Structures are given as structure tokens and as C-alpha cells.
Structure 1
Amino acid sequence: MSRPETSRPEPRRQGRRVRRRVAAGLAAVAVLVPYVVTLALFAQRQTADLTFARDERDGVTYARALVRLVAATADGQSAAVAGRPVDTGRLTEARTAVEAVDARLGESLGTGKRWDDLGTALDAVLDRGPTGAAAYDAWGQVVDLELALTAAVGDSSNLILDPELDTYYVIDAALTRLPRVIALSGRVADLTRLSGAAEHDAPGLSEAQRAAAGAGERVRSEFANEAAALDRSLRVAFGATRSRTLGPALLTRLDRLRDASNTLAPPGDALGVELGSAGVTQDQAARVQVRDAAVSLAASATGEIDTLLGTRIDGLTQQYRIAVLLAVLAAVGVLAAAWVAAGPRRRPEEADDAPAADDTGDGPAVDDLVLEAEELLAGRRLVRSGRALSSSRDAV
């Protein structure tokens, strides 16, 4: 007895294959799409951090030039108050350096108008050539404009918002404290000269001398507080940093500045400030020591900040490139999964000519077992029918 022919359910098998393919593709897409989105967001964040750090680096470049200009202007103020000629060569050199930086970075940092106003004020005081108390006021206004410009650079370049503890405190010292220490040291010495190094309640003082003496005491105290705050900021940075060069590069210069500051504003209740001409000479010498130590410390501090920011930028750049590469690879994976889910498309005539799964012999094992079971069931039905027919004949 021959086994009856049964048709293989090719449409059903093809449907199951399509469903498996779609399910696998959708699962891959479901896994990869969130991964791609996460990488894209990470890359976007890295881009923002890179922009932030690069703006900070521009601010450091600008601040480095400004510190030297503040020092040169404070020297000009002291010379004018004493009635001496102003060193215009040093002042012009420092001014030219800031002009070059502003021409390159002024637009991005938004310093153009402030720098123009500062230049106008500096030209005006040089043209007038005041001396004595008038010079103290006129040059003091120029120094105030320079300090305001320094603060504006810190704001627009994000330097005052630096996220790292060590860099933040070094920036605070170099950008905020050091320029003020330089300016205040000059004012202490100038007010000492204007008051004749007398105490504000000394007998026989003119009204102008008495006012200068009182202002000198206040400015000396302000200078001492600023120098102490600078010292604290840098020592916090030394304790928080992972840099091997920050402490060694700045510590000796910081000690030198502290010694000079203690000479200009001795610590303790008894200031120990000399009176009369000796006091004027002492304060002028201490002012020069403070200026030199502060300028040296500022140059080293801004250099260390630039190095720390450069290291940070390199790390962020590497992370950004890795994130972009992984995002691209994941996106390719999503496209591949989507293609698998869609399946290759064939023209109708190709589908008609395609060989059946029976001919290729590559159907799933489960499908073959189902078909064999169906064939066995069909054969058993035929056997039962034959037996029933034989029994009927015997009965007849």
C-alpha cells in the first residue's frame, strides 16, 4: 500500500519564518535605539564641556596679559603721585599685549567695549599728566577699569564657574586676588606718601593728609585681607589637586609674595609701620617686592591653569571621539536589524520560480516533524478504512 501524497504547508512555514525574522529585528532595534540615543546625548554633553573648557582657556590667555597691564598701570600711578615721569614704554608694551589678545578673543569674550573705554581713559590720564592726590584719583580710575575688565573676562569665559576644585581655586587666586593685590599694594604706598606716613590723628596734619592717612589705614587692612585670601585659595588648590606640577611651580612664589605682603602690612595688632620719610621709603620698597612677586606668581599660575585645562580638553576630545564611533557603529547595527526585519524583497516572478523548501531540504526540523506526523495520521486513517471495508465484505 503506497503512502498517500500530502502537500507541505509552504505558506505556513514562510509565515513562521517571517515572524521570526521580524521579531529578531525588532528586538535588536529595541536594544540598539536607546543605546544610540544615550551615546548621542553623551557626545552632545562632551561637546558642551569642550566648548566650556576652550572658553576658559581663552579667558586665561586674556587674564595673563591683563595682570601685566595692571602692574604697569599701578607703577604709573605711583610715579605720578610722587611727581616722577611715568614709564610709558613699559605701559605701552603691556597695553599692546592686551590689544593683541583682545583683537583675537575680544569678540567671543565680549570685551570690546570695555577695552575701548579703558584705552580712552588711559590716553586721557597720560595726556593730562596729573600729580599728587589728583594723580591718585585719576590713575585709580584706570586701574578700577582694568580690574572690572578682568572680572568681566572671568564671567564671559566661564573661568569663575570651573567645576574642578583645584583649578577653581587657582583661578580665584590668579584672576580675582592677584590683580587686586597688585593694585592695593600700590595704593597703600601712594597713600603713605600723600599722608607723609603720618597717622590719621597725628597733630599738625592738613585735611588732605588726614584723609590720606585714614584711607591708607583702610586700604592697608584691605590689602592684608586680600593677600591672606589669596594664600588660602592656593593652599586649598595644593591640597585638592592631582597635578604633580601645581604645588612645586607655585609654592615658592607664593611664599615670596607672602613675605613681601607681611612687610607692607605686618600681621597682628601692632602693624609696625614706619612713620615719616622712612615709612614712605619702606612702603615703596615693599610695594615693588609685592608687585614683582605677584606678577611672577600670576604668570606661573595662569600657566598651570592652561596646562590643567589642556589636559582636560584632551581627555574630553578622546571621550567624544569614542562616543561618536560607538554611536555610528550602533546606528549601523540598527539599520542592519531593520533590514533583517524587513527581509529581502523579491519580484513576483522570482517568488514563483523559487524552489520549494522540500526541494532545498533546508526547512526547520520542527516543521519536518510536523509534516511526518500528519503523513502518519493520514496513513492510519487509510488502514482503518480498509479494515472496515474488509469487515463489511465478510459479513455479506
Structure 2
Amino acid sequence: MVIAMAFLVPLLVAVAYLVNQQNGSINVAQQELAGTAYLRSLSALTLDLIQYRSVSTEIAHGAQVAPQQIAALQSAVDGDFTQLKGTDPSLQRRLDEALTTAGKGQLVFAGLIGQWQEVKAVGPDDALATGFTQQLVGNQLSLYSYVGDVSKINLDPQPDTFYIGSALSALEPPLVNQISSLGDTVGIAAQTRHPADTDGLIQASGLLSQQLGQLNDALNRAFDATPAHNNDTDLSPALAPLLDQVSTTANGLIGIADQQISGGSALTLAGVQGGTGVSPGSWTPVVMRQRPA
């Protein structure tokens, strides 16, 4: 079960569009556009890795998952790594150099793909139990901020582009992970009819609420700043409804978690779907049913 990157594709488009409107350094703009293209490929990898983790969680809780489904997910991740490697070799080289200098060798491309081979080798449930899967997902999510720095998306002098880039590279990835993790928790509780861990729900729902607020704040700052800079009149009308969809699903999950924390009735699949507007088993909001190209 995965609720993933509810509007990462529109954010990528927004960054590229705003960068194209700038009158600053052509070289800097080209680097930002290269970063946007790289993040598009990275987002596809994120989506499939989180889905693989969710299926692994189902298996660990007794679900019967067809070997063909596991093989298809593994093939998708293999393809994502291939796509990422070929997206921009120059940016990849600079990114790996920056990561090595920062002592983050586990985040370089060779390191990530090596971790994925370990996850595949031991199988979904064992990789989850040993922490291999979670480590890979965490490392891959950490890569976003470094891509933002190396491509200068995080350093853009225009406030609207800066806040959109910050939302994309620093705020949205951990929000995506938290939505997915909490979605898995309540979904498993609904499927097994066993109550979820209260302490875990308190921590997860509180963090999700905080992350959602930060993303809302960054995008609203971008909406406020664009008239004085890029003057993109389509920015708010395009992204605000999508942000509302993300907020609806996230707040629905938080509400379900709060009910369980306060000792509410046992979760059901119908109750989870009614509370979030999303059917467990396909935890991807409508706007992300179009995968990053």
C-alpha cells in the first residue's frame, strides 16, 4: 500500500517553467533544468521503492503476494536505476563527487544500486526484517537535497523558484515517506483487525502533521512571491488544488490515527477508505496515477 508523491510531477513542471522565465545566468538555469530532469527520474525510483517496501510489509504480516507481482516490482526498480543512470551523466558525476566529499558514500549511485541488489538477494520479508529495505529507502530520500544543492535548485535567487525547489527537494520526500509509512500502518491494522501501536501512531501522525504544514508554508510563500518575480499567474491555480488533495488524504490518515490513539473502534478497510478517500491496496492519489516519464 502506498500513498506517494501526490503532486511531485506538477512541482517538477513548476520548477522548470519558473527557471525558463528567469533572466539570470544561463549556465545556472541550465543546471537547474538538469536537476529537474534528474529529480523526475529519481521520483520514479522513489515511487517504486516505496511500493516495494509496502508490499514487503504486507508479506511480513501474512499477506499472500504472487511471485509475479514481486518480480514485476523488482523489474520496475531495476528499470528506474537504469533510467536514473542515463538521465544526466555530467550531473551524476558532480553529484557523486559532492557526496563523496561530504562523506556520504552510501548515497552515490553505485552505493544505492549495491544496496538494492542486497535487498533483492534476501527477498522482501527478510530485507524488511534486517532493515535493508528501510535503509535503502532512507538513503534514496536523502539524495533529493543533494541534487537540489548540486543543480542549484536550492540556491535560486528568485523567491518563488526557491520555495518551489525547496518544497520539491527538501520537504516533499520526507512527507511522502511519512504518508506511506502511516498508510501502511493503518492499512495493515485494518487488514489484520489488530490495533496499531499507539506510541508509534502518536509519533507518526505528529510528524506527518508537521511536515504537511511545512510544505503548505513553502508553497504559499511561492504563490505570494511570484507576482514580484516570475509573475507566473498559473502557479497557484495549478498547484493549490493538488495541495488540497494531498492535505485531504494526509489529514484523513491523521484523523484515523487519532481515533486509534484515543481508543476508537477497530479499523476496517471500508473505514480507512472513507477516512482518506483512498482505497487501501492502491494508496496513490489520482494525480500521481500518471507516473513520472
- Amino acid paired to 1:272: Q
Please list, as runs of the form range in 1=range in 2, the aligned pairs for 1:271-350 lying within 5 A after superposition: 271-273=258-260, 276=266, 278=268, 282=272, 285=278, 291-292=284-285, 295=288
In structure 1, C-alpha distance between the alignment counterparts of 2:280 and 2:171, rounded to whole Å: 16
- Amino acid paired to 1:120: G
Q: How far did 1:116 drift?
A: 1.0
Alignment-derived partner of residue 74 in structure 2 = 88
In structure 1, C-alpha distance between the alignment counterparts of 2:223 and 2:115, rounded to whole Å: 39
Larger radius of gyration: 1
Alignment-derived partner of residue 74 in structure 1 = 50
Q: How far did 1:141 drift?
A: 0.7
8 Å contact 1:77–1:135 — kept in the other structure? no
Q: TM-score, normalised by structure 2?
A: 0.69
Taking a change above 3 Å as real, the CA distance of residues 98 and 109 of structure 1, as seen in their structure-2 partners, is same
Q: How far did 1:81 drift?
A: 1.1
8 Å contact 2:127–2:133 — kept in the other structure? no
8 Å contact 2:182–2:205 — kept in the other structure? yes
Q: Which of 200, 206, 212 lines up with 1:221 in the alignment?
A: 206
Alignment-derived partner of residue 36 in structure 2 = 60
- Asked if residue 233 in structure 1 is aligned to residue 218 in structure 2, the reply is yes
8 Å contact 2:193–2:268 — kept in the other structure? no
Taking a change above 3 Å as real, the CA distance of residues 74 and 255 of structure 1, as seen in their structure-2 partners, is same
Identity over aligned pairs, percent: 21
8 Å contact 1:118–1:146 — kept in the other structure? yes
In structure 2, C-alpha distance between the alignment counterparts of 1:290 and 1:229, rounded to whole Å: 22
Q: How far did 1:104 drift?
A: 4.9
Unaligned regions of 5+ residues in structure 1, if any? 1-46, 201-212, 304-396
8 Å contact 1:56–1:158 — kept in the other structure? yes
Taking a change above 3 Å as real, the CA distance of residues 252 and 220 of structure 1, as seen in their structure-2 partners, is same
8 Å contact 2:91–2:151 — kept in the other structure? no
Alignment-derived partner of residue 340 in structure 1 = none
In structure 1, C-alpha distance between the alignment counterparts of 2:217 and 2:289, rounded to whole Å: 18
- Asked if residue 149 in structure 1 is aligned to residue 154 in structure 2, the reply is no
Q: Which of 163, 166, 171 lines up with 2:157 in the alignment?
A: 163
Alignment-derived partner of residue 101 in structure 1 = 87
Q: How far did 1:231 drift?
A: 1.7
Output one character per residue of 1:160-188: Cα deviation in whole Å (capped at 9) or x when no partner: 11111111111111122222222112221
In structure 1, C-alpha distance between the alignment counterparts of 2:194 and 2:243, rounded to whole Å: 28
Q: Which of 234, 248, 251 lines up with 1:259 in the alignment?
A: 248
8 Å contact 1:260–1:286 — kept in the other structure? no
Q: Which of 185, 189, 192 lines up with 2:183 in the alignment?
A: 189
When the two structures are aligned, how many residues end up with a matched partner?
Answer: 241
Alignment-derived partner of residue 195 in structure 2 = 198
Q: How far did 1:293 drift?
A: 5.6
Taking a change above 3 Å as real, the CA distance of residues 136 and 291 of structure 1, as seen in their structure-2 partners, is farther
Taking a change above 3 Å as real, the CA distance of residues 237 and 145 of structure 1, as seen in their structure-2 partners, is same
In structure 1, C-alpha distance between the alignment counterparts of 2:149 and 2:95, rounded to whole Å: 9
Q: TM-score, normalised by structure 1?
A: 0.53
Higher helix share: 1
Taking a change above 3 Å as real, the CA distance of residues 131 and 257 of structure 1, as seen in their structure-2 partners, is same
In structure 1, C-alpha distance between the alignment counterparts of 2:52 and 2:147, rounded to whole Å: 23
In structure 1, C-alpha distance between the alignment counterparts of 2:286 and 2:246, rounded to whole Å: 5
- Amino acid paired to 2:144: T
Taking a change above 3 Å as real, the CA distance of residues 151 and 221 of structure 1, as seen in their structure-2 partners, is same
In structure 1, C-alpha distance between the alignment counterparts of 2:148 and 2:158, rounded to whole Å: 15
Secondary structure in 1 aligned to 2:268? helix
- Amino acid paired to 1:56: E
In structure 1, C-alpha distance between the alignment counterparts of 2:78 and 2:271, rounded to whole Å: 27
Secondary structure in 2 aligned to 1:247? helix
| CA RMSD across the alignment | 3.6
Unaligned regions of 5+ residues in structure 2, if any? 1-22, 60-64, 100-104
Please list, as runs of the form range in 1=range in 2, the aligned pairs for 1:102-141 lying within 5 A after superposition: 102-110=88-96, 114-131=108-125, 134-135=128-129, 137-141=131-135
8 Å contact 2:116–2:136 — kept in the other structure? yes
In structure 2, C-alpha distance between the alignment counterparts of 1:132 and 1:220, rounded to whole Å: 27
